Structure 1
Amino acid sequence: MRALLATEFYKLIKQSRTYYALAAIFVIEGVVLFSAYYQGAGIIDIVLSNLKDTFYFEGNLLNGNLVTYFILNSLWFHVPLILIIIMSGLLTTEYKDKTLQTVMMQPVKKWQYILSKYIVAIVFTTCVVFVLALTSFLLSYALFGKGDLIVYVNGLTFFEHHDAFFRLANAFVIGVVSMVFFSVVSVTLAVIFKEAMKTWIIAAFFLILSNILLKVDFGSELLNQLLYVKLNDTWQYFFTFEIPWNTIYMNVTLLMAYTLLTMGVGVYIFQKKDIG
């Protein structure tokens, strides 16, 4: 298993699409920083235009915490979409190049082979989100300094700097769980559809549909609590006035269960499927 994992990490590192996709993530981060630097003050003025007639605001509201929050919101769509492309390529490339048949001719168990790809996807996704979080904090604080965080989640809320940092850091940590789920789904879809273009289209549709259904009321409190589409915004709960820890713990547990279930389905299908 160690040899399989080492080989999969090596193949991931050698793929040019890995670096293009990573570059895309950090270009998005750069665009957010650039936009905040040149237009951020105007955005703050628009958001607070009505409140400024009633309240007096002291200090710089456009600061590193707010910019980091802007970057954090790339976890809604941009980051998972790019991760889908990279992770599905772990398998679709081997179907396309016909190297999968060669690998299966070796003394390698099919379930270990596909499981190694899932593990690589999980580790790589975690590392990407960690690096995104680290660079977001460092660059945002360096360019904009520290300050209180203002967010609009079910109303306008302010958090002092130390509290804002705690909430942002935890949001990135919980965001990893959501990103891992989408990465695992993309690998499972690659097992099913084999072709890169089909996998990308279906995975992108899955991501879009998940974001749309997030706002849908399914008419049942139980469904609204248990369906996976209601779990992918858990990181956003850190920006409510009182952090609902019990809900966060339950959602993370459920999402991890969905992730393991998706992996299990992928391993089972790959085990039963004819590679040729």
Structure 2
Amino acid sequence: MMKSLFSAELLKIVKQSKTYYALGAIILIELLILLIAYYQGSTVLDLLLESLKQSFYFEGSLLNGNLIMYIVLNSLWFNVPLILMIITSGFLTDEYKDGTLQSVMLQAVRKKQFILVKYAMAILFTILVITFMMLTTFAFAYAIFGKGDLIVYINTLNFFESGDAFRRICFSFISGAIAMIFYNVTSMTLAILIKDSSKTWLVSALFLVITNLLLKVDFGNASFNNLFFPKLIDTWQQLFVYELDWTRIIGNNFLLILYSLLMVLIGTYIFNKKDIG
């Protein structure tokens, strides 16, 4: 039964127009960044780094594919998770709206199996979209701007050679995908609680905004700061600190996975107990 449910849900994702709207939105974000960088990026970089160029040698142009990919990664703060949360929550809210959920439950389908497949689809969809985002960004950025050293400002200016920058960017996409999975399973849990699509989108957007705001708040307790989920969302950016703290990076991503599993357990329990009508 789980296999049949999984196949059916996968077919829905492939056929629904929302999937392609999401991919189109990702492409649009990338193209806008590329367009702005192509026409204005070089001028801005020259103004910012004019004094540094007199003291340091940079290999290739600083306006290069690695910098473009880093800029695209910054869409993981709000744009990309918002798109993903809207699409993912619709996996369930659309079925509430259309009445198809009641029809499915009249068959020999256990509620627990059904909702777990929905969560699995949310995770798979997230991985596919982030993979698509990574591959298209690599293709566009390197084709137009080529390779080169990367300069990033995180508390201080950090410089990375082209090869090192590429590796850090790849790991950042993986870490970013884990954060996006957390957002998506949260939106699915919100869909279980709220049922209505527009209200779920609004609450999901509010959750995203509050999470980003709490990221900047210092709660004064080191342990709480290290464990509270909003403090883990920027883990992908820690890969652009010059001296990598792999223990912290891996630990943060592991905690995000645990938070994601917790959201799945909460949502599954509520859905299993809740009246479908």
State the shift of 1:49 in Å: 4.0
What residue is the counterpart of 2:72 in the other structure?
A: 71
In the TM superposition, 1:242-257 aligns within 5 A as: 242-257=243-258
Look up the SS of the partner of 1:257 in the other structure. helix
In the TM superposition, 1:38-77 aligns within 5 A as: 38-52=39-53, 55=56, 57=58, 59-77=60-78
Q: For 1:227 and 1:246, how far apart are their aligned partners in 2?
A: 17
Q: For 1:43 and 1:237, how far apart are their aligned partners in 2?
A: 25
Give yes or no for the alignment of 1:104 onto 2:105. Answer: yes
Q: Do 2:30 and 2:72's aligned partners in 1 also have CA atoms closer than 8 Å?
A: yes
- The code of the aligned residue for 2:238 comes to Y
State the shift of 1:45 in Å: 1.9
Q: For 1:210 and 1:121, how far apart are their aligned partners in 2?
A: 20
The RMSD of aligned alpha carbons is 1.2
What residue is the counterpart of 1:3 in the other structure?
A: 4
Deviations 1:67-92 (Å, cap 9, x if unpaired)?
A: 11111111111110000011000000
State the shift of 1:14 in Å: 2.0
State the shift of 1:54 in Å: 5.1
Greater shift, 184-193 or 130-139, is seen at 130-139
State the shift of 1:181 in Å: 0.4
Deviations 1:143-194 (Å, cap 9, x if unpaired)?
A: 1111100110111111001100000000001111000000100100000000
What residue is the counterpart of 1:16 in the other structure?
A: 17
Query: May I ask how many residue pairs the two structures share in their alignment?
Result: 276
What residue is the counterpart of 2:89 in the other structure?
A: 88
In the TM superposition, 1:165-204 aligns within 5 A as: 165-204=166-205
Look up the SS of the partner of 1:48 in the other structure. helix
TM-score by length of structure 1 reads: 0.97
Instruction: Quote the sequence identity (%).
Output: 55
What residue is the counterpart of 1:114 in the other structure?
A: 115
Give yes or no for the alignment of 1:124 onto 2:117. Answer: no
Q: For 1:269 and 1:138, how far apart are their aligned partners in 2?
A: 43
Deviations 1:124-144 (Å, cap 9, x if unpaired)?
A: 100110111111112111111
What residue is the counterpart of 1:137 in the other structure?
A: 138
Q: Name structure 2 gaps, 5 residues minimum.
A: none
Q: For 2:91 and 2:78, how far apart are their aligned partners in 1?
A: 21
Q: Name structure 1 gaps, 5 residues minimum.
A: none
What residue is the counterpart of 1:236 in the other structure?
A: 237
Q: For 1:80 and 1:229, how far apart are their aligned partners in 2?
A: 14
Q: Do 2:60 and 2:147's aligned partners in 1 also have CA atoms closer than 8 Å?
A: no
TM-score by length of structure 2 reads: 0.97
